[in-house]
Amino acid sequence: MNGVLFYAPSLLAATSGSTIGPMSSTTPSDEATLRQQICEMGRRMWQRGYVAANDGNISARLGEGRFLCTPTGVSKGFMTSEQLCVVDAEGNQLAGGLARTSEVLLHLAIYRDCPHLSAVAHAHSPNVMAFAITDTPIPTGILPEVEALIGPVPLLPFVMNGTPELAETVVPFFRKRHTTIIMANHGVVAGDRTVEQAYFHIETLESYCQVLLAARPLGELKPLDESTIEKLLDWKRNQGIDDPRLEA
């Protein structure tokens, strides 16, 4: 796109020889790096107030039917790499001294149906939650950065966490190449090729929701024109960035 440069970590991850993709297996050094990344993204979420107490969860593919995930009952702000858990594709815990997060079952359902995703993160960021608890849809076509780096964000009805019905509600949207989803009265879940990029989706959406809420008293939102949206979608297509509108 002429004159416009967006940071696209997911593209860099997909083309830089990364070994954490869905069809790969990890070496011990790769696993150590993933553990560090999960802890760092957890600290960022806690420092920014996206999670309180022991809220939130993060996971990543290890390959060969193994997945790394955060433990239950541990603050993401103080989590250490040794506390992370390894589970199989059914959620059975293979390693880790603490119990795995119960919400890893949703992550595993996403991984089973979406081989293009290698990391999933879930948070309760306050401005996103304001939309989630009022059943207020997220408007599209407002900020070019949000259109380019996230795209449409569906708001799904509340389903009790830890149930098969939650996965049945959420997974089809990731299958259609959404990267970020809001679950009513629950929070945001994001997926991508790297742990960092899954976290970035949460951060971008939280910032966007903060802007939307600040704009409300000022008047109606001014959307981008249709030609700009088409250019942004062309850029995403060329960069290999997921967007459900490119599947049509």
pLDDT in tens, 89-135: 999 999 999 999 999 999 999 999 999 999 999 999 999 999 999 99
Amino acid 27: pLDDT:
60
Segment (H or E) for 156:
strand 155-156
Asked if the 9-246 domain carries CATH number 3.40.50.300, the reply is no
List the chain domain ranges: 9-246
- Of 208, 169, 203, whose CA–CA distance to 186 is shortest? 169
Segment 192-217 mean pLDDT: 97
pLDDT in tens, 57-79: 999 999 899 999 999 999 999 99
Distance CA 121, CA 131 (A): 19
**Concatenated DSSP letters of 192-244:** ESSHHHHHHHHHHHHHHHHHHHHHGGG----PPPHHHHHHHHHHHHHHT---G
